[in-house]
Structure 1
Amino acid sequence: MSILHRASFTVSAARLDQLPPPTTSEVAFVGRSNAGKSSAINVLANQRRLAFSSKTPGRTRLINLFGIPDPLDPGQSLGFLVDLPGYGYASVARDAREEWAEVLGGYLRQRESLAGVVLLLDIRRGVTELDRRLAHWIAPTGKPVLALLTKADKLPYGQRLKAVASVRKELAELGTLAAVPFSATHRIGLEEAAAHIENWISPKVVP
């Protein structure tokens, strides 16, 4: 069983100072509002309602942490899956957008325990201007990024490969970047994505 299947809700935070101390590895999920973050977290954790999504873009304003217990010591945590607020919510007041951007950027730049970033992109839309801005936030940290190109079931195989190549080219500034066609409903790319995330949380010992 994947260690991600053990994930459970731990805490929600509206501000960075409300987060628990940065003691174990954290993998942050980020993307445009309604890009499929909650669906991706749920399918990776093999749970239907671990992460909640809203039909109203920008409604989810909190940082939500889902802890993964250590199989050898259930009282200890191996790490966390972190659901960050979505971005690109045009209907939300400007001051609220700026506040969330500050929280989002602050977490990505300052969180010492951040092990990797899962960036969700709609495979049909490609990299948007807001995605590029996010990449500018992430790039200076040097953290590895896994781009999940969601809704991959909407495109034939050949177009998926072209979309992956395009994302890698457009986000080359990120350095360590993996791009995977992904579909929560059709479970496309699930094993590959889970392997990346598991290794960030609990790196495999290579002899």
Structure 2
Amino acid sequence: MSLLHRASFFTSAARLDQLPEAGAPEVCFVGRSNSGKSSAINVLTNQKRLAFSSKTPGRTRLINMFSLPDPLEPEAALGFLVDLPGYGYAAVDKKAREEWAEVLGDYLRSRSSLAGVVLMIDIRRGVTDLDRRLAHWLAPTGRPVLALLTKADKLPYGQRIKAVFAVKKELAEIGALYAVPFSATHRIGLEEAALHIENWISPKVVP
């Protein structure tokens, strides 16, 4: 059984000061609104509705944390998955977008327990200006990044490989970047992505 399959809802927070004190390793999921974060979290944890998104894109403003219990000490958290609000939805007013961007940037730069970042990118859209802005936030931290190129089932295999190369080239400023074609519906890249995340949480975990 995958470590990720044990995930359960832990808490929600609107601001960083509402989060629990930094402790066990955290892996956060970031990406544009409608980039497929919720679907990815659900398929990686093998649960249908652990994470859910608002019916109105861009309206979800909460940081949602999911606990991964320690197999040896179920009462203790081995780590956390963190679903950050999506960015870049045009229908949300500029002030709100800037506030979310500030929270996102502060979390990525200052959260000491952040072990890795899962960046969601639509494989058909490629790297956007907002994704590049995120890369600028991440580069100085040196934290590893896993880019999940979602909707990979929409492209033939050869184009998927080209897309991975293009993302790596465009985000070269992020030193430790690994890119995987991914599809929640077709389960493409699922095992590879899960292994990366598990190893960030607990390097001793054997899939």
Do they fold alike, i.e. is TM over 0.5? yes
Q: Which residue of 1 aligns with 2:112?
A: 112
Q: What's the % identity of the aligned pairs?
A: 81
Question: What is the CA distance between 1:39 and its match in structure 2?
Answer: 0.2
Structure 1 contact 146–178 (Cα < 8 Å) conserved: yes
Q: What do the CA deviations read for 1:92-132 (whole angstroms, capped 9, x no partner)?
A: 11111111111100000000000000000000000000100
- Deviation readout 1:21-63 (Å, 9 max, x if unpaired): 1010000000000000000000000000000112322111000
Give the CA deviation at 1:205.
8.0
Which residue in 2 is equivalent to 1:153? 153
Residue of structure 1 equivalent to 2:65: 65
**Does residue 20 in structure 1 map to residue 27 in structure 2?**
no
CA distance in 1, matches of 2:143, 2:178: 12
Q: Which residue of 2 aligns with 1:173?
A: 173
One-letter amino acid of the structure 1 residue matched with residue 33 of structure 2: S
> In the superposition, relative to structure 1, how do residues 91 and 201 fare at CA in structure 2: closer, same or farther (>3 Å)?
same
TM-score, length-scaled by structure 1: 0.98
Q: Is the 8 A contact 1:122 1:149 kept in 2?
A: yes
What amino acid is the match of 1:21? Answer: E
Letter in 2 for 1:142: G
Match of residue 141 from structure 2:
141
Residue of structure 1 equivalent to 2:128? 128
Task: List structure 1 segments (4+ residues) > 6 angstroms apart after TM superposition.
Answer: none
Q: Which amino acid aligns with 1:42?
A: N
Amino acid across the alignment from 1:203? P
Q: Distance in 2 between matches of 1:32 and 1:121?
A: 8
Flag structure 2 segments of 5+ consecutive residues without an equivalent. none
Return closer, same or farther for 1:10/1:205 CA change in 2, 3 Å cut-off: closer
